[in-house]
Amino acid sequence: MTQQTPVPSQPAGPASLRIGAMEFGAGEPALHSFRTALQSVPANRILLHDGDDSGKIIVVAEGWLATSKSSLSGEVQLIDFLLPGDVADPTSADGKTAGLSIEAVTDAKVCVIPLPAWHSMLAASPQLARAHEHVQAAERSRLSERMLRLGRGSAESRIAYALIELCLRLKPLGLSENCAFHLPLTQRHIGDFTGLTAVHVCRTLRRFVRNGLVETADHMDIRINDLSALAEVAGAEPERLAAEITPAAD
């Protein structure tokens, strides 16, 4: 079965790389750079520290990464999760230092591309530039949605929103079927993402389960049983949300 299935576009290594909803395959001039720069990183590896010299972007090919900031007292706020097809540009306004940390949440494969190279790739391929714009727009939308809940939402609404957001994002990647998906996250991660204590994340999730909104297995496999009820708690409309936070095909 392994041998007989013809593999059209991925002979050995990854012959194509996803940026947002678009695949960049063998024909693209961009591909060469992707290929040479692809590298594996183990879970929990920190790729970049807030304040480091940066000057590069990171394209996720596989696995989960997260961007974060932490306070002097060591508390962490996850800013965003990066899934395959996402592009992280940690550069702050000075054009040099990183404005956030980037770490691998799971084992992952990424391309690290120096900013100048990235710019010429964007200039060379309008397709790529367009895809990148969609990815950026999706990230902006997610950040605003999350800021709204962070500033104004209850714990329930924050967590409900987080579950829905992740479900919606995983769907186009083929990692969420029927609102069931795997979250490679501890409750601490979810707490750092939603601005809550791990303890309170636990309580709130249990309540969701008790009320039949979601089901959990293995502490990490989630199934949203009652999407509309959960969306009500989150104060979100899943259809609209999907369009806004998920990179469009073109």
Partner DNA sequence: CGGGTAATTGAGCTGGTTCAATCTGAGTGG
Partner DNA sequence: CCACTCAGATTGAACCAGCTCAATTACCCG
| 218 lines the binding site for a copy of itself (CB under 8 A) | no
Among residues 206, 211, 221, 249, the one that binds DNA under rule CB under 7 A: 206
Query: What is the phi/psi pair of residue 174, to 5°?
Result: 75, 20
Picked from DNA, a copy of itself, none, the partner binding residue 46 (CB below 5 to 8 A depending on kind) is none
Between 97 and 106, CB nearer to a copy of itself: 97
d(CA 179, CA 146): 20
Please provide the size of the chain in residues.
250
Among 199, 217, 243, 249, indicate the residue that binds DNA (CB under 7 A): 199
Question: What does 11 interact with, of a copy of itself, DNA, none (CB < 5 to 8 A by kind)?
Answer: none
E strands, the chain, are 17-19, 22-24, 38-41, 46-48, 56-62, 65-70, 76-82, 87-88, 101-104, 108-114, 176-177, 180-182, 214-217, 221-224
Task: List residues bridging with 222 in a β-sheet.
Answer: 181, 216
> Closest approach of Cβ 106 to DNA, in Å?
12
Min CB(220)–DNA separation in Å: 7
43 scored as a contact of DNA (CB under 7 A): no
Tell me which residues in 105-164 interact with a copy of itself (CB under 8 A).
Answer: 134-135, 137-138, 140-141, 143-148, 150-153
